Amino acid sequence: MRDQITPLLSEARIQARVREMGAQLARDYAGKDLVVVGLLNGVYPFFADLTRALDLDFEVGFMQVSSYGGGTESTGEVHILKDLDTSIQGRHALVVEDIVDTGLTLFKVRHLLLDREPASLRICTLLDKPSRRKIEVPVDYTGFSIEDHFVVGYGLDYDGKLRNLPYVGVYHP
């Protein structure tokens, strides 16, 4: 599988950007009651690195959602496989995602979480593919904007694999 990958973002570049994002979030959320919400599975390396670069006291929580539809396209029909086990009512919620593609997943997750009346809700993603957007969703923090490539590594998978790579590359099936 690995011989089908063209490197796109090196480990060093990702780590430098994640540290910058952590510093920015530390400024923006200083003194606030923050819950950082990770969307499993793809977010796990980014989440671990970002939260360790965020020098504040906050709670973490996870959700797992799946967009059915088959293949590499999401349909917008979002099913909750695992819900948050902490309340965000009256608190500042920061949703962390690996990649925003069509926007359908985050659109749904955002509305679901807004119904719980957080004090604020922002979205932070490592990668964004703006040219693929099908529905507007406000993304507050973006690591890297990329072209319309199918990417793997640093949490992103092809067929459930390649999440463990420390870099991001374009996958050519």
Residues of this chain that interact with ligand IMP (CB under 6 A) are 42, 67, 74, 97-105, 150-151, 156-157
Structure token digits, residue 68: 């059915």
101 is catalytic: yes
As measured in angstroms, the least distance from the Cβ of 36 to ligand IMP is 17
As measured in angstroms, the least distance from the Cβ of 51 to ligand IMP is 18
Work out what residue 105 binds among ligand IMP, Mg ion, none; the CB cut-off runs from 5 to 8 Å by kind: ligand IMP
Catalytic option among 49, 98, 101, 128: 101
Q: Which is nearer to Mg ion, 91 or 128 (CB)?
A: 128
Ranges assigned E (strand) in the chain: 5-9, 34-40, 59-67, 78-82, 92-100, 120-128, 141-145, 151-152, 168-171
The residues annotated as belonging to the active site are: 101
